[in-house]
Structure 1
Amino acid sequence: MIDPESLPYRPCAGFMLVNAEGKVFVGQRIDPSAHGFWQMPQGGIDKGEDIRAAALRELEEEVGVPAHMVDVIGQTSRPIRYDLPPELLGRVWKGKYRGQEQYWFLGRFLGADADIDLEAHDPPEFNEWRWIDPEQLPELIVPFKRAVYEEVLAEFRDLI
């Protein structure tokens, strides 16, 4: 039995990408355990990496959108944590973490839909993508991350 209190949080950066109509980018993860759920681009922060640089790197890796196609207009006031559910604890991230501590950025997409390339990184993270109304975010994410998306949305709502 793993004691989650004994494990650290994995540092992570996420990106809420919005288009000119105020819609938010979401991708459907290829991972079979997350089938049917949609999420915004996010991923681990490398040791010594700047948080904003990590968020932009993840955006480019997962969505194919380089930094020059984004106008960063917001950052959450603090990192937001979530804990893994018991059934995933010890299985994800080689069992090293109890959850994630996420730093979120908001940016306007300056490109066109044709600039989005889910195969920009090998292997790809998403198999489908779409633009959604921001209020739909919490209902589309895996349930254990719902509170994170609600908090990110609350912080960015006025900027979207």
Structure 2
Amino acid sequence: MSDFSALPYRPCVGVMLVNPEGNVFVGKRIDTRGQPDEGGVYWQMPQGGIDDGENLHEAALRELWEETGVAQQHVDLLAQTREELLYDLPDELLGKLWGGRYRGQRQHWVLGRFTGQDEHIRLDAHDPAEFCEWKWLQPDLLPEVIVPFKRSVYQAVLDEFRGLF
């Protein structure tokens, strides 16, 4: 297939997890392990597909658990984006990710307050792991650490949740 514009967007949920200091969880993707962190574009917030029959909050908590090991009792969901946010994959990834079935993602984002301790974050809680490292990051730095094709989504999430964390 060479015309990817007819492909649908993959339904997805993302989680902006903030700690009591107002910093945001970001993980370094495991598929970038060993690569130099040039420009800081290997970090992202937890996100993933929404399973059939799953509501948004169920999907957010499941994805958060699978990618970070953070259990439901260590997070309070505070807000969600009013509208879906879309992004298109860059040309070099079209037809390669998600079995070539999607042109990008349509994402709802959820804001969650982390109520646990750092030791409650366990990147090895699920196999295969999504992240190889993690850190707390100042929110305004989020657009700088994500791959360029997702920057507008991260900026929109940051703008919508600003003042809530």
- Give the alignment's TM-score, normalised by structure 1: 0.96
Q: Counterpart of 1:48 in structure 2: which amino acid? A: G
Contact 1:2 1:89 in 2 (8 A): no
Match of 1:68 in 2: 73
Give, in angstroms, the shift of residue 48 of structure 1. Answer: 1.5
Whether 2:14 is the aligned partner of 1:14: answer: yes
3-state SS in 2 of match to 1:31:
helix
Give, in angstroms, the shift of residue 32 of structure 1. Answer: 3.1
Q: CA RMSD in A?
A: 1.2
Whether 2:49 is the aligned partner of 1:54: answer: no
Aligned counterparts of 1:24 and 1:32: Cα–Cα separation in 2 = 20
3-state SS in 2 of match to 1:25:
strand
Matched pairs, number: 159
Aligned counterparts of 2:53 and 2:2: Cα–Cα separation in 1 = 28
1:96-111 equivalences in 2 (<5 Å): 96-111=101-116
Whether 2:77 is the aligned partner of 1:82: answer: no
Whether 2:141 is the aligned partner of 1:119: answer: no
Aligned counterparts of 2:112 and 2:68: Cα–Cα separation in 1 = 13
Q: Counterpart of 1:139 in structure 2: which amino acid? A: E
Contact 1:60 1:66 in 2 (8 A): yes
Aligned counterparts of 1:7 and 1:81: Cα–Cα separation in 2 = 13
1:128-147 equivalences in 2 (<5 Å): 128-147=133-152
1:22-37 equivalences in 2 (<5 Å): 22-32=22-32, 36=37, 37=42
Match of 2:5 in 1: 5
Structure 1, gaps ≥5 residues long: none
Q: Counterpart of 1:137 in structure 2: which amino acid? A: L
Give, in angstroms, the shift of residue 152 of structure 1. Answer: 0.2
Aligned counterparts of 1:69 and 1:104: Cα–Cα separation in 2 = 18
Aligned counterparts of 2:140 and 2:58: Cα–Cα separation in 1 = 27
Q: Counterpart of 1:100 in structure 2: which amino acid? A: Q
Runs of 4+ in 1 over 3 A off after TM superposition: none
Give, in angstroms, the shift of residue 45 of structure 1. Answer: 0.5
Q: Counterpart of 1:121 in structure 2: which amino acid? A: H
Residue number among 17, 41, 48 corresponding to 2:46 in the alignment: 41
Q: Counterpart of 2:29 in structure 1: which amino acid? A: R
Give, in angstroms, the shift of residue 47 of structure 1. Answer: 1.2
Aligned counterparts of 2:32 and 2:44: Cα–Cα separation in 1 = 14
Identity of aligned residues (%): 62
Structure 2, gaps ≥5 residues long: none
3-state SS in 1 of match to 2:111:
strand
3-state SS in 2 of match to 1:20:
coil
Give, in angstroms, the shift of residue 66 of structure 1. Answer: 1.1
